[in-house]
Chains A and B, each alone.
Chain A
């Protein structure tokens, strides 16, 4: 047994203007899950502590909260693993959400992002017109299984740094769920779905892999890349900056072996997009003054033919 100091964020939107913290000490083994420790504290110490929970076994996705500064499922995280040197376990509501009461948050923005996806199968023909069940080969299904494991706990959404500064961004879970329908052979709305998620800022993903902390190993980070690739393969909204950027990066690597910074900036913003180029000009000018501008042209690295052979062998698209 150990003294575990639960350091809990307390706030009630109905009565409080600012939050405070309560420290509740419980005598439990360090292997106790944070959820069990919270249940114990609620039952034995303070019945007003509020948090969501249901299944207690990482299936329902209700008990996600910030534990020791990182969003995790309380039912899947031991107190010992999140304990600070003084024996305290810091518990907060998920970031990127408005707190409602203690560890309970308003989930609406997260559900809204799902709703926009029309998260149900939309085949080309009506079920009544379809003579048999809609069959999927094991290989086609394999692609969808990981994403189907998503329990919508919002861990990824709460850790997403882009959501934290731009709530319009769809967020990792919704993009992964879009992938689930985009790659479903039974669905008839592939292009429309890619266009929809592109409009919800697919290309604003910052490649930070914070969503690799997914407790169910859905790994939205990889699915986001898959959806971007689908957008390029199906040539959806190709004049937007995201696809232009990806393709001009590929082009400069094929041409020079290097990611040529100057050409990538021009190619992404648009060589004739004077207004766009003027917007990046002040930073460019500051860098120029410090002698920090990347070279305008790069000499190809030695044996550049080998690099071009690789691109050609894989039929990798370039702009």
Chain B
């Protein structure tokens, strides 16, 4: 049994998931949430990829990255699951893997780092992968779409591709912990003072709102442990954003989106009403690049972003 996708599966993949006429191909790891409660993130990513003329080949047989929770039960299992995902990407010739979730980014990179830094761990992983004929050669790089946009497209090119600028919409960046911390794992930019999201907001014609909450935690991982605490973490951050003039929030992480979009209402009692709509990164980029707003799943948000878009003459 081989871990690579069979030719017919690959054909199916290319047929269902991608447009094979595109020039550049990337491995695509959407993560669980973009396939479950945030399908609008998955769809707007695909629409953005179309617009940018790249081919995203979804790693359909991949597993969950471990979502930071799997480490609580076993020290090795998340690492080996990710090694399996890398083996699949390598077998498809897709060493460059793009993610659309801060948590996937952080935990896939952490696994990758652990594997590459220790022959012992790599051997442990490959001994298990070998049971089904797979092998991780350690050649895969994992990048978030945000980093890829800046590294491979470039801010100047992005700015020149904007056909519908954001008309000065005041957007608060919300990074999501696992795309910046730990710095030893991510390290693409400063964890203490990142500015990639701000740069993208400005390139799209918006105004970036600075506030202390932008690098803080959304509380997602304690929602089921103590809901009022999770809601309060949302409220605290959104209060800061709102007080500094934000009209909307943008995040590269669907977990943050679920927390911020879902819990502002519950946090109102302690932090006051904030009602800030929370865009997924590819939604706002795709909009500015000309993808029709009605295709971006905006009406799926609990706090409807269309009202603020109307107020800025972005949509009718």
Residue ranges of A at the interface with B (Cβ–Cβ < 8 Å): 68-70, 161-162, 164-166, 201, 203-210, 212-213, 219, 221, 225, 228-229, 232, 241-242, 245-247, 249-250, 253, 257-261, 264-265, 268-269, 279-280, 283, 286-287, 290-295, 298, 301-303, 305-307, 309-311, 313-318
Contacts and interface: CB of A to CB of B under 8 A. Distances in A.
Nearest to B234: A165
Interface stretch (B71-79, B148-156, B201-209, B283-291): B71-79
Given A210-B217, A261-B32, A317 B128 contact: no
A245 B225 contact: yes
B70 A286 contact: no
Contact of A310 (B81, B192, B226, B232): B81
Contacts of A213: 191-192
Nearest 4 A/B pairs, CB to CB: A208-B217, A209-B181, A316-B74, A212-B182
B310 interface: no
Main secondary structure of the interface of A (DSSP, over half): helix
Nearest to A203: B225
B269 interface: no
B177 to A, nearest CB: 4
Interface centre among A204, A205, A232, A292 (most CB of B within 10 A): A292
Interface stretch (B19-27, B60-68, B274-282): B60-68
B116 interface: no
B281 to A, nearest CB: 18
A195 to B, nearest CB: 17
Interface residues of B, number: 66
A316 B69 CA distance: 13
Contacts of A229: 71-75
Interface in B219-277: 219-222, 224-227, 229, 232-233, 236, 262-263, 265-266
A208 B262 contact: no
Interface stretch (B44-52, B137-145, B163-171, B295-303): B295-303
A260 B232 CA distance: 25
B64 to A, nearest CB: 5
Interface of B: 3, 5, 9, 32-33, 35-38, 60-64, 66-77, 80-81, 84, 106, 128, 131-132, 134, 177-178, 181-184, 191-193, 212, 216-217, 219-222, 224-227, 229, 232-233, 236, 262-263, 265-266, 299-302
Nearest to B75: A229
Given A250-B77, A306-B84, A314-B77, A166 B177 contact: no
Contact of A261 (B36, B69, B216, B226): B36
A295 B128 CA distance: 31
Contacts of A293: 37
A301 B217 contact: no
Nearest to A303: B61
Given A210-B217, A314-B77, A259 B32 contact: yes
Contacts of B73: 229, 232, 246-247, 249-250, 316-318
25 contacts: A70-B192, A162-B217, A206-B220, A206-B233, A207-B221, A208-B181, A208-B221, A212-B182, A212-B183, A212-B191, A225-B72, A228-B72, A242-B225, A246-B73, A247-B73, A250-B77, A258-B64, A261-B33, A290-B299, A290-B300, A295-B36, A303-B3, A310-B84, A314-B80, A317-B73
